[in-house]
Structure 1
Amino acid sequence: MQTAPPQNNYLAGHAAGEGIETVYADDSLLVFNKPAGLLSVPGRGEDKQDCLSRRVQQHHPDALVVHRLDMATSGLMLMARGAEMQRALSRLFENREVHKRYVAVVDGLMHENQPAPQNPGEWALIDLPIAVDWPRRPLRIIDREHGKPSQTRWRSVGSGNAANSTRVELEPVTGRSHQLRVHLQALGHPILGDQLYAPAEVQARAPRLLLHAAMLAFSHPEKGRAMRFACEPGF
């Protein structure tokens, strides 16, 4: 699968709104690099109206949300141009035809403390069901009795910048809310800077959540071409 070639209206490196880098644009879809700390869509309350979707719609009024990233997560986010394309892209997500990869830095030496493949570069699987933690909504928990099936592939790609940390690549097989954060916490390796799932001392080890959506790959619904976008994390 090759990285999508530039189009006539390719806007790499330009801003779709304040602080938003446009990675790709054509008549059907848009790809952006969302900064950490920005909502994907509006939240409840006047103080939560600033978000990626509204900033983008100031420049692309037909842009519609297809998927979301947590506010604290940075990286690649795909939007559709028009309702028909939104339905087509949503079907790709529902059918698990969108390949996503994240990069994170976690607390501890994950490659030493967790069962992992013997051969470098191979993936291990986290298979732990996730449920809403109703008394503490919107948090999630591992619930083996009532949780929904949830799988994440992971592999170590070296030491993190901080001492006693590991840089990992993550591929969600399912798409539960907070899945990556909850799975890593459950293994005893919360993500550095995670204000929701890490203990205070791990939160304090980074100025932000060290989780980044680094790659998206899928088949263009209209053009039939394999599309692949990559965006390195800033940590």
Structure 2
Amino acid sequence: MVFIVEDVDAGKRLDSFLAEKNTANYTRSFIGKMIEENLVLYNGKPSKASTKIKTGDRIELFEKEPEPLAVKGEEIPLEIVYEDDDLMVINKPRGMVVHPAPGHTSGTLVNAVLSHAGESLSSINGVLRPGIVHRIDKDTSGLILVCKNDFSHKALAKQLEEHSITRRYHAICSGRLKEEQGTVSAPIGRDEKNRKQQAINYKHGKEAITHYRLLENLQNASLLECRLETGRTHQIRVHMKSIGHPLLGDPLYGPKKNLYAIKGQALHAMVLGFVHPRSGEYMEFSADYPEDFQKLLNKLRMIR
């Protein structure tokens, strides 16, 4: 695949330019990997993702054939909130891993989707796999999008990149918030002291913005609604800890002693909204609290 840079694109980054062309449905992050693997030639030579392109430059992109997914489908019950020929909205239970990984090769959402959807999978990013556009942590419950073809994956990935997908989470944090609402805007990156955690990292972190709103004051705790502008790993958990209100039950960022009957952070992906890639209609879904979240909330209400 060959591109000749026109005046309108001069000055853009190489990876941004190819992501905009997007003829192979690749995401910008995957294009970055292709550039690192020398599958992109800039004026006949390997280059960097950050290279600023100029009018008349020749860019060659060598496409990858989709690789088969080495994961088997498993008949695991799924709570499907919505499904059509393009996508699914699933209410993921707490404790379920989204993608297979070392230590979690079975019992994941991907295993379940493979069994349910069969061959209706996207091949975005060069891998035949269910089109999981965004992820939520293992111990976070709630709504997640799954794409069944490249068309929907490409369109929804673009909405996610443009921050136009509605994602509202409900969380129970420690302590009572003094303000009714607020915004945490602080970059998140790998914790330099503990590689298993994320942290506020102004030197190497990526932009992260979380808006929060107080829903209810509880016994030395608060019920919040958090709205994401960005989608960094552990974003809400890290941001709430940074302002002195870590989530109850959080094994990584919460108090060392878990005094509450909940396994994992009290965080639920409550609302998910997006423009349907084929109909152009805005769709919004919500999911009730899981049982353990509701029990904890009731307990904290009773002892106020």
Q: TM-score, normalised by structure 2?
A: 0.65
- CA distance in 2 between counterparts of 1:135 and 1:69 reads 24
Indicate the residue corresponding to 2:170 in structure 1.
103
Quick check: 1:19–1:35 contact (8 Å CA) kept in 2?
A: no
Q: CA deviation at 1:224?
A: 0.6
- 2:156 corresponds to 1:89: yes
Contact kept in structure 1, 2:76 and 2:107, CA below 8 Å: no
Of residues 145, 152, 160, the one that matches 2:210 is 152
Partner of 1:6: none
For 2:20, the equivalent position in structure 1 comes to none
**Which structure has the bigger radius of gyration?**
2
Residue identity in the other structure for 2:160 = F
Of residues 242, 264, 275 in structure 2, which corresponds to 1:219? 275
Q: Is 2:87–2:146's contact at 8 Å kept on the other side of the alignment?
A: yes
SS at the partner of 1:53? helix
The alpha-carbon deviation at position 19 of structure 1 amounts to 4.2
Q: Which residue of 2 aligns with 1:53?
A: 110
Contact 2:98–2:138, Cα closer than 8 Å, also in 1: yes
Match of 2:132 among 42, 57, 65: 65
Counterpart position of 1:124: 182
- Per the alignment, in what secondary structure is the counterpart of residue 70 of structure 1? coil
Distance 1:136 1:19 in 2: 35
Post-superposition CA distance 1:98-130 (Å, at most 9, x none): 0100000000102x2xxx35xxxxx42111221
Q: How far did 1:135 drift?
A: 4.2
Aligned residue number for residue 3 of structure 1: none
The letter of the residue matching 1:51 is T
- 1:144-167: CA deviation from partner (whole Å, max 9, x where unpaired): 33322211000110034xx31100
The aligned runs of 1:1-235 (5 Å cut-off) are 17-45=75-103, 47-61=104-118, 62=120, 63-110=130-177, 112=178, 116=179, 123-160=181-218, 163-201=219-257, 203-208=258-263, 209-234=265-290, 235=293
**Are 2:240 and 2:246, in contact at CA under 8 Å, matched by a contact in 1?**
yes
1:201-234 C-alpha deviation (Å, 9 max, x unpaired): 2x33242221000001111010111100011212
What is aligned with 1:7?
none
- 2:117 & 2:85 partners in 1: Cα distance? 10
CA distance in 2, matches of 1:150, 1:228: 23
Residue 64 of structure 2 corresponds to which residue in structure 1?
none
Q: CA deviation at 1:83?
A: 2.2
Deviations 1:146-194 (A, max 9, x none): 322211000110034xx31100000011111100000001111110110
Q: CA deviation at 1:17?
A: 5.0
What is the TM-score normalised by the length of structure 1?
Answer: 0.83
1:22-75: CA deviation from partner (whole Å, max 9, x where unpaired): 000011110000000000111114x44321121121011224211111001000
Number of residue pairs aligned between Structure 1 and Structure 2: 207
SS of 1:193's equivalent?
Answer: coil
Q: Over the residues paired in the alignment, what is the CA RMSD in angstroms?
A: 1.7
Equivalent-residue separation in structure 2 for 1:133 and 1:27 (angstroms): 41
Q: Find the aligned partners of 2:115 and 2:211 in 1 and give their Cα distance.
A: 37
Q: Hey, what's the Cα distance between the residues in 2 that align with 1:146 and 1:56? A: 35
